[in-house]
Structure 1
Amino acid sequence: MHKKTQEDSFYDKVYEVARQIPLGRVTSYGAIANFLGTKGTSRMVGYAMGACSGLYPPVPAHRVVNRVGLLTGKHHFGSPTMMQQLLENEGVEVEDDKVKNFKKIFWDPNEELDYNKYQ
């Protein structure tokens, strides 16, 4: 039996936030970390995204990119182009592994979600 760890709990919170990212929008690892009150844990958010394959309900990890819109997690998607394909299927334009119009389609959980629900 798997004993719940503090890391599991953090990952669960990350997944709850990521599941709220709307179709056709993206957020960053840092924005999720900041929303959860753990600024500076962007890398841990990235680790969580890398570990979410096969979860139910699914986690749209392809919608989480780095702070300038680069698809830095693309190596977790089975093929070098899968993350880009998933984003483009949702209407997100990607060029040279970077989200175009990043600021325009950026989804900030601090503005969209109630922090108290994630505590």
Structure 2
Amino acid sequence: MLDVVDRIPAGKVMSYGDVAEYLGEGGPRQVGRVMSLWGGAVPWWRVIRADGTPAAGLEAECLARWRAEGTPTRGARADMRTARWDGRG
């Protein structure tokens, strides 16, 4: 799972559910659990809630990283229409 997160390109995001679907196992909560325990070694700010919001308590750092990477946003959320990565390419 962490390998998938590591492959998300700069400026793109996946929801917790997207990661689980890409892997074909588990669900958003399992992805969230793994990210909370071991996600510090990968670009954790690229894995977010399905509504485009970052994990609670990490909003400011996440937004700063999105700005630095040019991630499309709508206010304090990632613009899921344009920022979502489908795992291809």
> Normalized against structure 2, the TM-score is what?
0.84
**Aligned partner of 1:98: which letter?**
R
Q: Is contact 1:74–1:82 with CA below 8 Å preserved after alignment? A: no
Unpaired runs of 5+ residues, structure 1, are 1-13, 114-119
Q: In the TM superposition, what is the alpha-carbon distance from 1:97 to its structure 2 partner?
A: 2.9
Paired with 2:32 and 2:45, the residues of 1 have a C-alpha distance of: 11
Residue 19 of structure 2 corresponds to 32
Q: Is contact 1:69–1:102 with CA below 8 Å preserved after alignment? A: yes
Larger CA Rg, structure 1 vs 2: 1
Q: Is contact 1:52–1:61 with CA below 8 Å preserved after alignment? A: no
Residue 83 of structure 1 corresponds to 62
Greater helix content: 2
Q: Is contact 2:13–2:48 with CA below 8 Å preserved after alignment? A: yes
Residues matched between the structures, number: 89
RMSD: 2.0
Higher relative contact order (CA 8 A, sep 6+): 2
